[in-house]
Amino acid sequence: MKKMLYFFLLILVALGLAAGVGMWKVHRLADSPLLIRDETIFTLKPGTGRLALGEQLYNEKIINRPRVFQWLLKIEPGLSHFKAGTYRLTPDMSVRAMMTLLASGKEAQFPLRLVEGMRVSDWLEQLRAAPYIKHTLKDDSYRTLASALGLTGPEQVEGWFYPDTWLYTANTTDVALMKRAHQRMVKAVDAVWKDRMDNLPYKDQQQLVTMASIIEKETAVAGERDLVSSVFINRLRIGMRLQTDPTVIYGMGEHYRGNITRKDLETPTPYNTYVIDGLPPGAIAIPSPASLDAAAHPAKSNWLYFVADGKGGHTFSTNLNDHNKAVRSYIQVLKDKDAQ
Protein backbone atom coordinates (compact mmCIF):
# COMPACT_ATOMS: atom_id res chain seq x y z
CA MET A 1 0.00 0.00 0.00
CA LYS A 2 2.83 2.33 0.90
CA LYS A 3 4.58 1.48 -2.36
CA MET A 4 1.46 2.46 -4.31
CA LEU A 5 1.24 5.74 -2.38
CA TYR A 6 4.91 6.53 -3.11
CA PHE A 7 4.30 5.68 -6.76
CA PHE A 8 1.38 8.09 -7.03
CA LEU A 9 3.36 10.76 -5.20
CA LEU A 10 6.20 10.32 -7.67
CA ILE A 11 3.75 10.67 -10.55
CA LEU A 12 2.30 13.84 -9.05
CA VAL A 13 5.78 15.28 -8.50
CA ALA A 14 6.75 14.39 -12.07
CA LEU A 15 3.59 15.96 -13.41
CA GLY A 16 4.20 19.04 -11.29
CA LEU A 17 7.75 19.32 -12.52
CA ALA A 18 6.60 18.87 -16.12
CA ALA A 19 3.93 21.52 -15.66
CA GLY A 20 6.48 23.82 -14.05
CA VAL A 21 8.92 23.32 -16.89
CA GLY A 22 6.12 23.86 -19.39
CA MET A 23 5.06 27.11 -17.73
CA TRP A 24 8.69 28.21 -17.61
CA LYS A 25 9.01 27.58 -21.35
CA VAL A 26 5.80 29.48 -22.03
CA HIS A 27 6.85 32.51 -19.99
CA ARG A 28 10.35 32.36 -21.42
CA LEU A 29 8.95 32.45 -24.96
CA ALA A 30 6.56 35.27 -24.08
CA ASP A 31 9.37 37.43 -22.71
CA SER A 32 11.96 36.52 -25.34
CA PRO A 33 12.69 38.96 -28.19
CA LEU A 34 11.57 38.22 -31.71
CA LEU A 35 14.12 36.50 -33.95
CA ILE A 36 14.17 39.36 -36.46
CA ARG A 37 17.25 41.59 -36.72
CA ASP A 38 15.62 44.40 -38.67
CA GLU A 39 12.27 46.13 -38.71
CA THR A 40 9.81 43.77 -40.36
CA ILE A 41 6.42 44.35 -41.96
CA PHE A 42 4.11 41.47 -41.03
CA THR A 43 0.74 40.94 -42.73
CA LEU A 44 -1.94 38.89 -41.01
CA LYS A 45 -4.72 37.86 -43.38
CA PRO A 46 -8.41 37.81 -42.36
CA GLY A 47 -9.60 34.46 -41.03
CA THR A 48 -6.20 33.36 -39.73
CA GLY A 49 -6.55 31.10 -36.68
CA ARG A 50 -4.14 30.41 -33.81
CA LEU A 51 -2.46 27.40 -35.42
CA ALA A 52 -2.04 29.17 -38.76
CA LEU A 53 -0.65 32.25 -37.04
CA GLY A 54 1.93 30.17 -35.16
CA GLU A 55 2.99 28.44 -38.36
CA GLN A 56 3.24 31.74 -40.22
CA LEU A 57 5.37 33.32 -37.50
CA TYR A 58 7.62 30.26 -37.47
CA ASN A 59 7.91 30.05 -41.26
CA GLU A 60 8.78 33.75 -41.48
CA LYS A 61 11.46 33.21 -38.79
CA ILE A 62 9.85 35.54 -36.27
CA ILE A 63 9.48 32.93 -33.48
CA ASN A 64 11.15 29.52 -33.00
CA ARG A 65 8.73 27.49 -30.82
CA PRO A 66 5.33 27.22 -32.51
CA ARG A 67 4.02 24.56 -30.07
CA VAL A 68 4.99 26.57 -27.00
CA PHE A 69 3.43 29.57 -28.73
CA GLN A 70 0.08 27.72 -28.82
CA TRP A 71 0.30 27.15 -25.05
CA LEU A 72 0.99 30.88 -24.57
CA LEU A 73 -2.26 31.74 -26.35
CA LYS A 74 -4.15 29.26 -24.14
CA ILE A 75 -2.61 30.46 -20.88
CA GLU A 76 -3.01 34.15 -21.82
CA PRO A 77 -6.24 34.16 -23.86
CA GLY A 78 -6.19 37.95 -24.13
CA LEU A 79 -3.33 37.58 -26.61
CA SER A 80 -5.35 35.33 -28.89
CA HIS A 81 -7.79 38.05 -29.99
CA PHE A 82 -5.50 39.21 -32.79
CA LYS A 83 -6.82 41.22 -35.73
CA ALA A 84 -6.04 41.05 -39.42
CA GLY A 85 -3.82 43.79 -40.77
CA THR A 86 -0.29 44.84 -41.64
CA TYR A 87 1.97 45.52 -38.67
CA ARG A 88 5.44 46.90 -38.06
CA LEU A 89 7.58 44.55 -35.92
CA THR A 90 10.87 45.69 -34.37
CA PRO A 91 13.85 43.64 -33.10
CA ASP A 92 13.46 44.88 -29.52
CA MET A 93 9.87 43.61 -29.36
CA SER A 94 9.04 40.57 -27.22
CA VAL A 95 6.63 37.85 -28.33
CA ARG A 96 4.09 39.10 -25.80
CA ALA A 97 4.51 42.69 -27.03
CA MET A 98 4.02 41.50 -30.59
CA MET A 99 0.81 39.69 -29.68
CA THR A 100 -0.41 42.74 -27.78
CA LEU A 101 0.18 44.78 -30.94
CA LEU A 102 -1.69 42.25 -33.10
CA ALA A 103 -4.58 42.31 -30.63
CA SER A 104 -4.67 46.13 -30.65
CA GLY A 105 -5.23 46.39 -34.39
CA LYS A 106 -2.79 49.32 -34.60
CA GLU A 107 -1.53 48.76 -38.11
CA ALA A 108 1.72 50.08 -39.54
CA GLN A 109 1.56 53.49 -41.16
CA PHE A 110 3.59 54.34 -44.24
CA PRO A 111 4.68 57.88 -45.19
CA LEU A 112 4.28 59.43 -48.61
CA ARG A 113 5.82 62.86 -49.06
CA LEU A 114 3.89 64.89 -51.63
CA VAL A 115 6.01 67.97 -52.28
CA GLU A 116 4.92 71.49 -53.18
CA GLY A 117 6.10 72.76 -56.56
CA MET A 118 5.47 69.40 -58.21
CA ARG A 119 2.62 68.63 -60.57
CA VAL A 120 -0.23 66.29 -59.73
CA SER A 121 1.09 64.01 -62.49
CA ASP A 122 4.33 63.70 -60.48
CA TRP A 123 2.34 62.79 -57.38
CA LEU A 124 0.44 60.10 -59.28
CA GLU A 125 3.76 58.58 -60.36
CA GLN A 126 4.84 58.49 -56.72
CA LEU A 127 1.58 56.80 -55.79
CA ARG A 128 2.23 54.11 -58.37
CA ALA A 129 5.58 53.36 -56.73
CA ALA A 130 4.45 53.65 -53.10
CA PRO A 131 4.34 50.36 -51.12
CA TYR A 132 1.06 48.83 -49.89
CA ILE A 133 -1.14 51.26 -51.86
CA LYS A 134 -4.19 49.70 -53.49
CA HIS A 135 -4.35 51.04 -57.04
CA THR A 136 -7.86 51.69 -58.34
CA LEU A 137 -7.24 54.42 -60.92
CA LYS A 138 -7.17 52.89 -64.40
CA ASP A 139 -4.62 55.50 -65.51
CA ASP A 140 -2.97 58.72 -64.35
CA SER A 141 -4.91 61.15 -66.53
CA TYR A 142 -6.40 64.21 -64.86
CA ARG A 143 -9.78 63.36 -66.34
CA THR A 144 -9.75 59.94 -64.63
CA LEU A 145 -8.71 61.45 -61.29
CA ALA A 146 -11.32 64.22 -61.53
CA SER A 147 -14.04 61.64 -62.20
CA ALA A 148 -12.91 59.47 -59.28
CA LEU A 149 -12.99 62.45 -56.91
CA GLY A 150 -16.25 63.86 -58.21
CA LEU A 151 -14.67 67.09 -59.50
CA THR A 152 -16.29 69.11 -62.26
CA GLY A 153 -13.46 68.45 -64.70
CA PRO A 154 -9.71 67.95 -65.21
CA GLU A 155 -9.09 71.70 -64.91
CA GLN A 156 -9.93 71.37 -61.21
CA VAL A 157 -7.07 68.93 -60.60
CA GLU A 158 -3.76 70.80 -60.90
CA GLY A 159 -2.94 72.80 -57.79
CA TRP A 160 -5.85 71.53 -55.72
CA PHE A 161 -4.04 69.05 -53.46
CA TYR A 162 -2.34 69.85 -50.16
CA PRO A 163 1.41 69.18 -50.00
CA ASP A 164 2.39 67.23 -46.90
CA THR A 165 3.74 63.92 -45.64
CA TRP A 166 0.67 61.72 -45.79
CA LEU A 167 0.45 58.61 -43.61
CA TYR A 168 -1.57 55.62 -44.73
CA THR A 169 -2.13 51.99 -43.78
CA ALA A 170 -1.76 49.01 -46.08
CA ASN A 171 -4.46 48.67 -48.77
CA THR A 172 -5.39 52.36 -48.62
CA THR A 173 -6.54 53.23 -52.13
CA ASP A 174 -4.86 55.84 -54.28
CA VAL A 175 -8.21 57.63 -54.58
CA ALA A 176 -8.70 57.73 -50.78
CA LEU A 177 -5.29 59.31 -50.22
CA MET A 178 -5.74 61.87 -52.99
CA LYS A 179 -9.20 62.70 -51.65
CA ARG A 180 -7.69 63.51 -48.25
CA ALA A 181 -5.11 65.80 -49.88
CA HIS A 182 -7.79 67.48 -52.01
CA GLN A 183 -10.20 68.08 -49.13
CA ARG A 184 -7.45 69.63 -47.02
CA MET A 185 -6.43 71.93 -49.86
CA VAL A 186 -10.04 73.03 -50.37
CA LYS A 187 -10.21 74.00 -46.68
CA ALA A 188 -6.86 75.81 -46.88
CA VAL A 189 -7.91 77.77 -49.97
CA ASP A 190 -11.27 78.66 -48.39
CA ALA A 191 -9.50 80.07 -45.34
CA VAL A 192 -7.00 82.09 -47.40
CA TRP A 193 -9.72 83.34 -49.75
CA LYS A 194 -11.83 84.67 -46.86
CA ASP A 195 -8.78 86.43 -45.38
CA ARG A 196 -7.40 87.86 -48.65
CA MET A 197 -6.58 91.54 -49.13
CA ASP A 198 -9.26 93.74 -50.63
CA ASN A 199 -9.40 94.61 -54.31
CA LEU A 200 -7.16 91.83 -55.61
CA PRO A 201 -7.64 91.14 -59.35
CA TYR A 202 -8.93 87.58 -58.90
CA LYS A 203 -12.31 86.47 -60.21
CA ASP A 204 -12.44 83.35 -58.06
CA GLN A 205 -10.47 80.90 -55.92
CA GLN A 206 -9.15 79.14 -59.03
CA GLN A 207 -7.26 82.28 -60.03
CA LEU A 208 -5.81 82.67 -56.55
CA VAL A 209 -4.55 79.07 -56.65
CA THR A 210 -3.15 79.70 -60.13
CA MET A 211 -1.26 82.75 -58.91
CA ALA A 212 0.04 80.83 -55.90
CA SER A 213 1.35 78.08 -58.16
CA ILE A 214 3.25 80.62 -60.27
CA ILE A 215 4.78 82.16 -57.14
CA GLU A 216 5.75 78.66 -55.99
CA LYS A 217 7.65 78.01 -59.22
CA GLU A 218 9.30 81.43 -59.33
CA THR A 219 10.96 81.50 -55.91
CA ALA A 220 11.88 79.22 -53.03
CA VAL A 221 12.98 82.15 -50.84
CA ALA A 222 10.42 82.62 -48.08
CA GLY A 223 11.01 86.35 -47.74
CA GLU A 224 10.47 86.98 -51.46
CA ARG A 225 7.12 85.33 -52.05
CA ASP A 226 5.03 88.40 -51.25
CA LEU A 227 7.36 90.55 -53.40
CA VAL A 228 7.03 88.21 -56.38
CA SER A 229 3.28 88.24 -55.79
CA SER A 230 3.28 92.05 -55.86
CA VAL A 231 5.04 92.09 -59.24
CA PHE A 232 2.36 89.93 -60.83
CA ILE A 233 -0.48 91.74 -59.11
CA ASN A 234 0.91 95.11 -60.29
CA ARG A 235 1.13 93.77 -63.84
CA LEU A 236 -2.43 92.45 -63.77
CA ARG A 237 -3.71 95.80 -62.55
CA ILE A 238 -2.16 97.76 -65.39
CA GLY A 239 -2.91 95.17 -68.07
CA MET A 240 0.73 94.12 -68.50
CA ARG A 241 1.41 90.49 -69.43
CA LEU A 242 2.89 88.33 -66.68
CA GLN A 243 5.69 86.94 -68.90
CA THR A 244 6.74 84.19 -66.51
CA ASP A 245 8.81 81.27 -67.80
CA PRO A 246 7.24 78.52 -65.64
CA THR A 247 3.91 79.03 -67.42
CA VAL A 248 5.63 78.60 -70.78
CA ILE A 249 7.23 75.36 -69.56
CA TYR A 250 3.90 74.04 -68.31
CA GLY A 251 2.21 74.85 -71.61
CA MET A 252 4.95 73.04 -73.52
CA GLY A 253 4.12 69.81 -71.73
CA GLU A 254 6.22 66.86 -72.93
CA HIS A 255 7.95 69.08 -75.51
CA TYR A 256 9.99 70.78 -72.79
CA ARG A 257 13.56 69.45 -72.79
CA GLY A 258 15.25 71.57 -70.14
CA ASN A 259 15.53 74.97 -71.80
CA ILE A 260 13.32 77.60 -73.42
CA THR A 261 14.01 79.17 -76.80
CA ARG A 262 12.70 82.44 -78.22
CA LYS A 263 10.45 80.36 -80.43
CA ASP A 264 8.97 78.75 -77.31
CA LEU A 265 8.23 82.18 -75.85
CA GLU A 266 6.43 83.17 -79.04
CA THR A 267 4.49 79.93 -79.53
CA PRO A 268 0.90 80.34 -78.29
CA THR A 269 -0.46 77.92 -75.67
CA PRO A 270 -3.27 78.52 -73.16
CA TYR A 271 -0.56 78.85 -70.48
CA ASN A 272 2.07 80.97 -72.27
CA THR A 273 1.89 84.28 -70.41
CA TYR A 274 4.23 85.89 -72.93
CA VAL A 275 1.36 85.55 -75.43
CA ILE A 276 -1.87 85.59 -73.40
CA ASP A 277 -3.23 88.39 -71.28
CA GLY A 278 -3.84 87.87 -67.59
CA LEU A 279 -3.58 84.59 -65.72
CA PRO A 280 -3.46 81.19 -67.42
CA PRO A 281 -6.62 79.03 -67.14
CA GLY A 282 -5.34 77.01 -64.22
CA ALA A 283 -2.51 76.21 -61.83
CA ILE A 284 0.88 75.01 -63.09
CA ALA A 285 1.98 73.22 -59.91
CA ILE A 286 1.03 72.41 -56.33
CA PRO A 287 1.40 75.61 -54.28
CA SER A 288 2.62 75.60 -50.71
CA PRO A 289 0.59 77.24 -47.92
CA ALA A 290 3.19 80.06 -47.95
CA SER A 291 2.58 80.72 -51.64
CA LEU A 292 -1.18 80.68 -51.12
CA ASP A 293 -0.73 83.28 -48.40
CA ALA A 294 1.53 85.38 -50.64
CA ALA A 295 -1.03 85.28 -53.45
CA ALA A 296 -3.69 86.52 -51.00
CA HIS A 297 -1.40 89.06 -49.31
CA PRO A 298 1.05 90.58 -51.82
CA ALA A 299 3.52 93.16 -50.61
CA LYS A 300 2.69 96.79 -51.30
CA SER A 301 5.22 97.78 -53.94
CA ASN A 302 5.78 99.38 -57.32
CA TRP A 303 7.86 96.48 -58.65
CA LEU A 304 7.11 95.35 -62.19
CA TYR A 305 10.17 93.19 -62.89
CA PHE A 306 12.46 90.72 -61.17
CA VAL A 307 15.36 88.53 -62.19
CA ALA A 308 17.59 86.07 -60.37
CA ASP A 309 20.64 87.66 -58.75
CA GLY A 310 22.82 84.55 -58.95
CA LYS A 311 22.98 84.27 -55.17
CA GLY A 312 19.73 82.42 -54.56
CA GLY A 313 17.44 85.44 -54.57
CA HIS A 314 16.12 88.03 -57.01
CA THR A 315 16.64 91.68 -57.93
CA PHE A 316 13.41 93.68 -58.22
CA SER A 317 12.93 96.72 -60.46
CA THR A 318 10.23 99.28 -61.23
CA ASN A 319 11.29 99.97 -64.83
CA LEU A 320 12.72 98.15 -67.84
CA ASN A 321 16.01 100.05 -67.82
CA ASP A 322 16.88 98.97 -64.26
CA HIS A 323 15.65 95.48 -65.02
CA ASN A 324 17.97 95.16 -68.02
CA LYS A 325 20.89 96.25 -65.82
CA ALA A 326 19.95 93.56 -63.31
CA VAL A 327 19.77 91.00 -66.11
CA ARG A 328 23.29 91.95 -67.27
CA SER A 329 24.56 91.67 -63.71
CA TYR A 330 23.04 88.21 -63.40
CA ILE A 331 24.64 87.09 -66.68
CA GLN A 332 28.01 88.35 -65.42
CA VAL A 333 27.61 86.39 -62.18
CA LEU A 334 26.99 83.24 -64.22
CA LYS A 335 30.08 83.92 -66.36
CA ASP A 336 32.22 84.47 -63.27
CA LYS A 337 31.02 81.16 -61.82
CA ASP A 338 31.80 79.33 -65.05
CA ALA A 339 35.30 80.84 -65.09
CA GLN A 340 36.12 79.59 -61.58
> What tens digit of pLDDT does each residue of 136-183 get?
999 999 999 999 999 988 989 999 999 999 999 999 999 999 999 999
pLDDT (tens digit per residue) in 270-300: 999 999 999 999 999 999 999 999 999 999 9
46, pLDDT greater than 70: yes
How many C-beta atoms lie closer than 10 Å to residue 45's C-beta?
A: 11
pLDDT at 9 over 60: no
Q: 51 pLDDT band (50/70/90 cuts)? A: very high
Looking at per-residue pLDDT, the higher value among 256 and 310 belongs to 256
**Is the confidence at residue 16, as pLDDT, over 60?**
no
- Name the least confident of 11-15, 136-140, 310-314: 11-15
pLDDT recorded at residue 3: 52
Domain ranges of the chain: 25-104, 109-186, 195-303
First to last CA, the chain: 107
Residue 339 pLDDT: 67
> Is pLDDT of 187 > 50?
yes
Q: Model's pTM, two decimal places?
A: 0.85
For residue 76, name the pLDDT band (cuts at 50, 70, 90).
confident
Closest CA to 91 of 43, 32, 34, 31: 34
Q: Which of 39-43, 53-57, 313-317, 327-331 comes out lowest in average pLDDT?
A: 327-331
Of residues 162, 265, 266, the one with CA closest to residue 212: 162
Q: Is residue 23 predicted with pLDDT exceeding 80? A: no
CATH domain 25-104 topology: Dna Ligase; domain 1 (3.30.1490)
pLDDT at 15 over 50: no
| pLDDT above 50 for 74 | yes
